[in-house]
Structure 1
Amino acid sequence: MSIPTLEELSLLHTNICQAVGDPKRILILYTLHEGPRHVTALSEALDMPQPTVSRHLAMLRQRSLVKCERDGAAMIYRLADERIIDVLNTMRSLLKDIVEGAADSLND
C-alpha cells in the first residue's frame, strides 16, 4: 500500500480510531462478534447500564462499525464488518509484543 494522504488519515482517525478509543466500545464490538444482540442483552452481558451501552452503540453506528435492525419494538445490533475484530486483534498482538519486549529489555 502507498503512504496515505492526510485527508485519508483524518478520516481514519475520525471514523475508526475515535470509535475504538473507549474500552467499553471495544468490549461491545467483541461481544457483538459472538452474535447479534438486543441492547438489553448487551447491557447484561457487559454489566453496564443500558443508557451507557446505548450511547456507545450510537457512536459505533454513526461510524458504521455496527448495524441495527428492528425486531418488533426492540433493535438488534450486529457488527457491520467483521474485519474490525481482525484490526483489534492485530492491535492486541502488537501491544503484547511491545510489553514483552519492554519486559525483556528490563531483564537485560
Structure 2
Amino acid sequence: MLETSPAALGQIADYFKVLSEISRLQVLCSLRSGSKNVSEIIAITGLGQANVSKHLQILTKAGMIKRQPQGVSVFYEIADPLIFEICELVCDRLSIRLEQQSQQLKQLETLRNSQNIGVTA
C-alpha cells in the first residue's frame, strides 16, 4: 500500500521525475537487451556523449541502472528489470485510453455526417 507521508510521496515523485525525460527512457530502452558501454548507448539512441553521460549519472543515482567497470571501459546495465513492467503498465493504459478516444472521435464523426446529410436533404 502507498504510504501517504510527504517524505514517502516525495521519493515516489522523484522516481517518476527520473522517468519523465525522453532521453532517459531512450537510454533505459537501449539497455533492455543487456549491458552496454557509453559508445554503444550513443550509437543506439543517437544522443550526444555529454547528454548520455548526464542521463547515465541520473539513472545510476536513482538506482535504476548500475555501472560495471570492465578493464578500461564501464558498462551500464539495468539494476531492476521491474522498471520495464512499470513502463508496460503505463503503455497499456495509454493504449486503452487512445483507443477509447479514437472510438469517441469516430462516433462524433458519424454523428456530424448524419447531421450534414439531414441538412442537405
Q: TM-score, normalised by structure 1?
A: 0.91
Matching residue of 1:10: 10
Verify: 1:41 aligned to 2:40, yes or no: yes
Give me the identity figure in percent: 22
Question: Tell me, what secondary structure is at the counterpart of 1:33?
Answer: coil
Matched, 1:64 2:63: yes
Which residue of structure 2 aligns with residue 29 of structure 1? Answer: 28
Report the Cα offset of residue 72 of structure 1.
1.4
Letter in 1 for 2:76: Y
Equivalences, count:
106
Letter in 2 for 1:11: Q
Range 88-97 or range 4-13, more displaced: 4-13
Cross-structure match for 1:92: 91
- CA-to-partner distance for each residue in 1:28-55, whole Å, 9 max, x for gaps? 1111111000011100111111111111
RCO (CA 8 Å, sep 6+): is it higher in 1 or 2? 1
> What is the root-mean-square deviation in Å for CA atoms of aligned residues?
1.1
Q: Where does structure 1 lack aligned partners over 5 or more consecutive residues?
A: none
Q: Deviations over 1:9-65 (max 9, x none)?
A: 211111x21111111111111111110000111001111111111110100011000
- The farther-off stretch of 89-98 and 78-87 is 89-98
